[in-house]
């Protein structure tokens, strides 16, 4: 019996950087209305998650930064998108979700250490004044991307699990890349702190030089905070990073750096969502680990979960779920790791799988 659906965003659920197709939206809304927990599992940070996803009633958990930070999102006030009253009933059910309360009580010991530093609403962005200022800055400068309701939901989000990248790993990564200054090589940096993405100014100003596709240039420019001295910023905040990504505009250099990191720093979690990115996180991170955490928290067996993904950073998510489903447009490694392959992300592949395989 399916009790949880976890889905990646880019190349999986989304048509572009911000849009969920109508068929995918309806399918997930029906799933949530039937009592299935629908979870977002993304490499994105909290502030870059698109509002269209959270317009689907019932979505209350977001796995971000490749599993380094998991948030519980307050319920919104969006209208039903299935055209019936089941969703409203489901939303009321979730407000007093007995399964969650029982799971938290019965597993309080197992999660005590994880939750000790994450008590209270929105601690992730309230704990540091600058972090909250930057968080609000992203919301304020792009009002077209955040309705008042969505803005309030993000500001009230509670981080329930956090695995920062170890300081030593951050310094090792800076040392390993020190021979490739961004003014001479197509190598740039992105780091994620408390739900906000920070990037080198050169990457923001010339995203195409570092391999960013034209379709995502505006997304990059509207979801990142610029730092001229990104390496200095990383060093200063080395104890706070959810992840440190290398953005590389040359295929040969990207392969060389990826192999060096995996050979010399085997104790960090390294993956990729697109070919030009090398995404580095805590060894305790990963979307698969996040899925297991949420299943345990909610009293759900991983065997009763299904997951959708398209990229290498989705492989552990698909293999951790009871059934892993890759998109036809996915990487070869992702498709091989899946139990089966559904249609493309731009042909409603998520909805097709839910309808044909699970009658949802």
Kindly tell me if the per-residue pLDDT of 183 is higher than 80.
yes
Question: CA angle 64-317-293, nearest 5°?
Answer: 65
- Give me the pLDDT at residue 206, please: 85
- The structure's pTM equals 0.86
Evaluate if residue 358 carries a pLDDT over 90.
yes
Grouping H, G, I as helix, E, B as strand and the rest as coil, residue 239 is coil
Band of pLDDT at residue 76, cut at 50, 70 and 90: confident
pLDDT surpasses 70 at 84: no
pLDDT tens per residue across span 242-301: 999 999 999 999 999 999 999 999 999 999 999 999 999 999 999 999 999 999 999 999
Q: What is the mean pLDDT of residues 163-179?
A: 97
50: region left, alpha or beta (phi > 0 left; psi from -120 to 50 alpha): beta
Judged against a pLDDT cut of 80, whether residue 194 lies above it is answered with yes
Q: Looking at the predicted structure, is the pLDDT value of residue 32 above 60? A: yes
Who has greater pLDDT, 104 or 261?
261
Please determine, for residue 85, whether its predicted confidence score (pLDDT) is greater than 70.
no
Detail the DSSP E strand segments found in 66-157: 69-72
Report pLDDT for 98. 38
Average pLDDT over residues 20-37: 97
Q: Which domains are delineated in the chain?
A: 4-163+286-358 (3.40.50.1000), 167-281 (3.30.1240.10)
Q: Which of 33, 34, 77, 23 is nearest to 55 (CA)?
A: 77
Q: Pick the range with the lowest mean pLDDT from 106-110, 118-122, 230-234, 326-330.
A: 106-110
Report the C-alpha dihedral over residues 170, 176, 181, 184, rounded to 10 degrees: -150
Mean pLDDT of the chain: 87
| Of the candidates 242, 219, 100, 98, the residue with the CA atom closest to the CA atom of residue 169 | 242
For residue 128, name the pLDDT band (cuts at 50, 70, 90): low
Q: Using DSSP, state whether 278 is helix, strand or coil.
A: strand
**Interatomic CA distance for residues 269 and 279, integer angstroms:** 8
Q: What is the DSSP letter of 327?
A: E
Looking at 89-98, 158-167, 181-190, which range is the least confident one?
A: 89-98
Q: Which has more confidence, 137 or 88?
A: 137
Confidence category of residue 46, pLDDT binned at 50, 70, 90: very high
For residue 232, name the pLDDT band (cuts at 50, 70, 90). Answer: very high
Neighbours of 149 (CB within 10 A): 15
104 pLDDT above the threshold of 80: no
Q: Average pLDDT, stretch 211-237?
A: 89
């Amino acid at each position: 019996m399916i009790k949880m659906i976890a889905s990646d965003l880019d190349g999986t659920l989304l048509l572009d950087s911000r849009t969920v197709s109508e068929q995918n939206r309806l399918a997930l809304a029906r799933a949530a209305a039937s009592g299935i927990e629908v979870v977002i599992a993304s490499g994105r940070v909290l502030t870059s998650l698109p509002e269209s996803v959270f317009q689907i009633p019932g979505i209350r958990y977001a796995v971000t930064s490749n599993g380094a930070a998991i948030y519980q999102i307050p319920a919104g006030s969006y209208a039903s998108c299935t055209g019936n009253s089941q969703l409203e009933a489901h939303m009321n059910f979730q407000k007093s979700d007995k399964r969650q309360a029982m799971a938290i009580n019965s597993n309080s010991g197992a999660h005590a250490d994880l939750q000790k530093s994450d008590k209270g609403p929105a601690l992730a962005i309230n704990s540091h004044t600058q972090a909250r200022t930057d968080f609000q800055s992203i919301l304020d400068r792009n009002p077209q991307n955040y309705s008042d309701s969505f803005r309030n939901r993000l500001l009230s989000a509670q981080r329930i699990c956090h695995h920062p990248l170890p300081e030593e790993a951050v310094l090792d990564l800076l040392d390993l890349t020190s021979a490739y200054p961004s003014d001479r090589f197509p190598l740039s940096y992105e780091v994620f702190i408390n739900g906000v993405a920070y990037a080198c100014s050169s990457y923001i100003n010339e995203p195409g030089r570092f391999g960013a596709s034209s379709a995502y240039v505006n997304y990059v420019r509207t979801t990142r905070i610029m730092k001229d001295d990104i390496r200095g910023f990383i060093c200063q905040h080395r104890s706070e990073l959810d992840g440190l990504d290398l953005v590389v505009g040359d295929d040969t250099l990207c392969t060389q750096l990826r192999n060096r990191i995996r050979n010399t720093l085997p104790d960090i979690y390294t993956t990729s969502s697109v070919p030009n990115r090398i995404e580095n996180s805590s060894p305790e991170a990963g979307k698969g680990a996040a899925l297991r955490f949420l299943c345990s928290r909610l009293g759900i067996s991983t065997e009763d979960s299904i997951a959708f993904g398209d990229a290498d950073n989705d492989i552990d998510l698909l293999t951790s779920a009871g059934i892993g489903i890759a998109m036809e447009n996915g990487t070869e490694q992702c498709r091989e790791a899946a139990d089966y392959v559904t249609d493309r992300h731009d042909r409603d592949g998520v909805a097709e799988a839910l309808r044909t395989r699970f009658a949802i």
